[in-house]
Amino acid sequence: MFSTKIRCLVVVGAQWGDEGKGKVVDALAEHADLVVRYQGGANAGHTVDAPGGEFVLHQIPSGILQPTSRCVIGNGVVLDPETLFHEIDALVARGVTLEGRLVVSDRAHLVLPYHKLLDSESPRSKKIGTTARGIGPAYEDKFGRRGVRVGDLRHPRIVGKLVQNGAQRANDMLQLQGSKQRCQASDIVALLEALAPRLLPFVDDAGLVVARTLRGGGTVLLEGAQGALLDVDHGTYPFVTSSSTTAGGAATGAGIGPTAIHAVLGIVKAYTTRVGNGPLPTEAGQAEAARLRELGDEFGATTGRPRRCGWFDAMVVRYSVRVNGLTGLAVTKLDVLDSFEELPVCTHYTLGGDRLDELPDNVAELEEVEPVYERMAGWRRPTGAARKLVDLPRQARDYLDRLQELALAPIRYVGVGTRREQLIEVAP
């Protein structure tokens, strides 16, 4: 993907998340000097099958497993410092060196214990099916202009005041919600005092680090979390996450201008999954969903919840190509479909008998749409050993051809398994 013309690349999820971004980023990071997470937080779960074994990363960019790349947690992320150190400790225990390789933005907001408490106690969060990691409440505080930022940890007096007010607010909200749980400001201040000396050495002006890398001729990969249909603006609102998951968010969340970005790669699963509530037009019937779930090991990497499974939805991916400005696609988990006799592909929807070629703006209509399927022949042969496109059965290539034709973007990578070498590069 990287070339003399493409030195700054965004990788985004083009469906509802869990498309296999971690694996693609891990592979591409070999050629990236810097890998930057730009939004979301510990709600994400990026599973990477690296030579040292399987890793699940939540906040640290998946590039950390390539020894030559440096990693950045950008200003657009909401950072849970406790979880961060669990992640760091797990990486160190597995022999990954972090010295000089991790930068945390001074402008990133902190996820505090009361954010997690509010998320897990809120009936609204339950209705949406959030990960209960405090993401929504932390972004609420950010946009309510009362959040605590990483850089504030340098000033204990400021932190003390902000936490005092935040805890008070949280306790009021908990009471309103009928919860008996309460938080203690002094406990949180003590926690931050203990974590600050460990966190501050990583802290820097992350946007400047990215800009300097680009100015110096280096390569930068901006790693998105979740997917376009979970974007707070473009997703299936209100069944979305609280950040800008799409490529536009990469510029703001990494602290660079949009003109610095050269290409955007969208990751799509060869079928569709969603974890949490909200519309999923191409959701399969129980038996077929269970078969996809088992073959694809479709269980949430953060919460362990079974993912809802269904067929490839070209409406969704075409929309994603548009709202992200995707310049290419990576189709992952093709091998999961190896045993199917027939593969439905949704080309468009109907609503009340009328044809729809663009996604409706509201969930009420999305719940009502009828997907219209084209049935493609399956290949019924294992594909995991394919290393070039020509190694794939003809039906699999036909399937991919149809996907890119419907999605209106070219396929640049095809994933046929979890290992690094199971990612086929497609010549442009």
Of residues 229-258, those binding ligand IMP (CB under 6 A): 230, 239, 241-242
Q: Using an 8 Å Cβ cutoff, are 74 and 61 in contact?
A: no
Site size for Mg ion (CB under 5 A): 3
Of residues 281-340, those binding Mg ion (CB under 5 A): 301
Q: Using an 8 Å Cβ cutoff, are 152 and 158 in contact?
A: yes
d(CA 243, CA 78) in angstroms, rounded, equals 9
Give the CA distances from residue 316 to residues 25, 95, 281, 282, 290, in Å, rounded to whole numbers and listed in that order.
Answer: 22, 40, 9, 10, 22
Which residues neighbour 10 within 8 Å (Cβ) at sequence distance 6 or greater? 221, 222, 224, 247, 250, 261, 263, 264, 265, 324
- Candidates 67-75, 222-230, 283-291, 416-424 — which segment interacts with ligand IMP by CB under 6 A? 222-230
Q: Where are the alpha helices (DSSP H) in 68-111?
A: 81-93
Distance in Å, CB of 235 to ligand IMP, minimum: 8
Q: Which of 63, 151, 248, 276 binds ligand IMP (CB under 6 A)?
A: 276
Q: Of 135, 166, 148, 363, which is closest to residue 243 (Cα–Cα)?
A: 135
Of residues 15-54, those binding Mg ion (CB under 5 A): 18, 45
Q: Which of 62, 69, 105, 130 binds ligand IMP (CB under 6 A)?
A: 130
Binding of ligand IMP by 135 (CB under 6 A): yes
- By a kind-dependent CB cut-off of 5 to 8 A, residue 122 interacts, out of ligand IMP, Mg ion, none, with none
Binding of Mg ion by 106 (CB under 5 A): no
18 is known as an active-site residue = yes
Site size for ligand IMP (CB under 6 A): 20
* Sign, Cα dihedral of 356, 361, 366, 367: negative
- By a kind-dependent CB cut-off of 5 to 8 A, residue 136 interacts, out of Mg ion, ligand IMP, none, with ligand IMP
Of residues 37-96, those binding ligand IMP (CB under 6 A): 43-45
| Residue 125 CB neighbours (<10 A) | 18
Distance in Å, CB of 25 to Mg ion, minimum: 12
Binding of ligand IMP by 275 (CB under 6 A): yes
- Candidates 48-56, 94-102, 223-231, 311-319 — which segment interacts with ligand IMP by CB under 6 A? 223-231
d(CA 138, CA 148) in angstroms, rounded, equals 9
Distance in Å, CB of 311 to ligand IMP, minimum: 18
Q: Which of 47, 226, 320, 347 binds ligand IMP (CB under 6 A)?
A: 226
Residue 125, both tokens: 């969060």
Name the residue nearer to Mg ion (CB basis): 174 or 221. Answer: 221
Q: Which of 113, 136, 310, 328 binds ligand IMP (CB under 6 A)?
A: 136
Q: Using an 8 Å Cβ cutoff, are 316 and 345 in contact?
A: no
Binding of ligand IMP by 10 (CB under 6 A): no
Q: Of 166, 157, 164, which is closest to residue 115 (Cα–Cα)?
A: 166
Q: Using an 8 Å Cβ cutoff, are 47 and 235 in contact?
A: no
Distance in Å, CB of 232 to ligand IMP, minimum: 10
Which residues neighbour 99 within 8 Å (Cβ) at sequence distance 6 or greater? none
- By a kind-dependent CB cut-off of 5 to 8 A, residue 83 interacts, out of Mg ion, ligand IMP, none, with none
Distance in Å, CB of 241 to Mg ion, minimum: 12
Q: Which amino acid is at 158?
A: I
Q: Which amino acid is at 239?
A: F
Q: Hey, what's the torsion of the CAs at 253, 256, 262, 263, to 10 degrees?
A: 0
Name the residue nearer to ligand IMP (CB basis): 18 or 26. Answer: 18
DSSP per-residue letters across 334-386: GGGGTT-SEEEEEEEEEETTEEE-S--SSHHHHHH-EEEEEEEEP--S--TT-
Name the residue nearer to Mg ion (CB basis): 64 or 396. Answer: 64
Catalytic residue among 33, 46, 106, 313: 46
109 is known as an active-site residue = no
Name the residue nearer to Mg ion (CB basis): 135 or 406. Answer: 135
Q: Which of 59, 69, 75, 131 binds ligand IMP (CB under 6 A)?
A: 131
Where in the sequence numbering do the catalytic residues fall? Answer: 18, 46
Give me the residues that bind Mg ion (CB under 5 A), please: 18, 45, 301
Give me the residues that bind ligand IMP (CB under 6 A), please: 17-18, 43-45, 128-131, 133, 135-136, 225-226, 230, 239, 241-242, 275-276
